[in-house]
Chain A
Amino acid sequence: MIGILVSVINGLLLGSIYGLAAIGLTLIFGVMKVINLAHGAMIALGMFALYFLATSGGMNPYLALPLVAIGGFVGGVAVYWIGVHRVIGRAELMSLLATFAVSMIIIGLGTALWSTSPYNVQINIPGVAIGNYTIPGNHLVAAVIAILIAAALYLFLFYTRLGKAIRAVASNRQAAELMGIPSTRVLAIAFGIGIGIAAVAGALIATLFPFTILSGGGYELKSFVVTVLGGLGNPAGALLGGLLLGFIEGVVSPFVDVSWTPVIEFSLFVVILIAFPMGLFRVGRGK
């Protein structure tokens, strides 16, 4: 019994990071209707950024997180101007192809530079014991950080002028322009924030598990599942969706082999798509 409880707790901790990763994806979609297929590659870059800051840079991994976020933001703004700006408002296939191309370039470069053998970041934080089980300390810290970042994003979007401008552009870009909001700049910033969040999510994952340049792919897929659970374009729903996905993983993992997890997750994904096409959680979106 305690084994299942611990498994569920671990699942929820991990779920908060799935949620954070998905927030990066859903924010970009919600604001500019672009499905960012470079999402996984950005997560992987976040992992490597943390690795190099912690090893070559000799930084405490947690103190390196803000740098990863800033790097992700700057890189995201650059990707926006180079690859995304031109395809905004065009057919969806265009932005899919553009972001897919960015993904291929990053994965290709990453493979050439760092091969595909696993890296890992050493972290030693005492865990919390429950009976004979231990909840690892790095998982607890990562979950707390993920939730804090999600909360900070919420406060930013709802209580700052720039955050509100992002929501205004998401709601009606033309009206935003008519009110004096420089919408292109706002889109670039929103894209940068989405990528920054994806990179930090990747960095947090790197504090938990070994990774390669290809590791982002699995989290990208999970982000899609989470996003569908939470409702596309809905950051608050994404966090809840992440927690739900983590919960489900926690519940099933004591009973089935890990290779079944994606089967279960994606069956769920299809069922939810059919039954609740708007997502399970219509939070913070009015109506």
Chain B
Amino acid sequence: MSETILKVEKVEAGYGEVQVLWGTSLEVPGGHLTTIVGANGAGKTTTLRSITGIVKPTSGRIIFEGEDVTRLPTHAKAELGLVLVPEGRQLFADMTVEENLEMGAFGARARAHYDRNLERVCHYFPRVKERLQQKAGTLSGGEQQMVAVGRGLMAEPKVLMIDEMSLGLSPLLAQQLFQTLKELRDDGLTLLLVEQNVHLALALADYAYVLAEGKVHLEGPAQEVSHNDEIRKAYLGL
């Protein structure tokens, strides 16, 4: 078992009066692909937002590489290597694809690896390479998702978190993107994936957390979770 790089400790968080997370805890081991699945509204996105600091946890801690980073501002966490590809892509719509990728590499650490990462993005997403000069907002949904993941890779992540990557993509394209993530993982990248597509996520991941009502309801190696009867009924429709 490799070392834990990111740890979420009993985090409580929410929006104003509404508490969403009720003591969520999870661990992400380096070089592994971890997934969080769960019903709509379970708090998956809120968990990622708490990790990145978009939502400030009201209690609990976020530990990254052994340091308490709970209170750091979002951009400082990105600079450290905690990078989120947010739900709904959130590209800089009126900037070109190339500028989007450049902005991904804004931090000093990322800029130092700009050329290598650009090459890596173009290698994994040849479609993106063809459209570098196009305005990001004019791309198709699938292409936008590739740019969003590409922009995340440009940030030289130590942990790459992706929220709902497969949403709105054709099954074929989703499959391809997941294949790409697997290659990235095999290259040594640590991934934390939130997915609607539980089938694909469990087939691919090393370890899975099932979130329900803001708490970890169940966890285990993805293989085992996918064979769990309750999960099969609730999430896999079997």
Contact = CB atoms under 8 A, between A and B. Distances in A.
A binds B: yes
Interface of A: 161, 164-165, 167-168, 171-172, 174-183, 285-287
Nearest to B79: A180
Contacts of A286: 93-94, 135, 137-138
B92 A175 contact: yes
Contacts of B110: 180
Given A179-B75, A179-B107, 19 more contacts: A161-B102, A161-B106, A167-B99, A168-B99, A171-B93, A172-B90, A172-B93, A174-B74, A174-B90, A177-B54, A177-B74, A177-B78, A178-B52, A178-B75, A178-B90, A181-B103, A182-B73, A285-B94, A286-B137
A91 B214 CA distance: 31
B7 interface: no
B106 A165 contact: yes
Nearest to B53: A177
B83 interface: yes
B211 interface: no
B56 interface: no
B222 interface: no
Interface in B45-82: 52, 54, 73-76, 78-79
Interface of B: 52, 54, 73-76, 78-79, 83-84, 86, 90-95, 99, 102-104, 106-107, 110, 135, 137-138, 151, 155
Nearest to A158: B99
Contact of A172 (B54, B74, B91, B102): B91
Nearest to A286: B94
A254 to B, nearest CB: 41
A178 B86 contact: yes
A171 B94 contact: yes
Contact of A168 (B86, B92, B137): B92
Contact of B103 (A174, A179, A285, A287): A179
Contacts of B138: 286
21 contacts: A165-B103, A167-B92, A167-B94, A168-B99, A168-B103, A172-B93, A174-B54, A174-B86, A175-B86, A177-B54, A177-B74, A177-B78, A178-B75, A178-B78, A179-B75, A179-B107, A180-B75, A182-B73, A182-B76, A286-B138, A287-B135
A285 B95 CA distance: 9
Contacts of A165: 103, 106
Contacts of B79: 180
A163 B73 CA distance: 22
Nearest to B108: A180
B94 A175 contact: no
B95 A182 contact: no
Contacts of B106: 161, 165, 179-181
Contacts of A161: 102, 106
Contact of B99 (A164, A172, A174, A183): A164
B84 A176 contact: no
B99 A287 contact: no
A144 to B, nearest CB: 30
Contacts of A183: 75
Contacts of B94: 167, 171, 285-287
A167 B106 CA distance: 13
A179 B78 contact: yes
Contacts of A179: 75, 78, 83, 103-104, 106-107, 151, 155
Contacts of A164: 95, 99, 102-103
B152 to A, nearest CB: 8
A165 B138 CA distance: 20
Contacts of B135: 286-287
B75 A181 contact: yes
B168 to A, nearest CB: 18
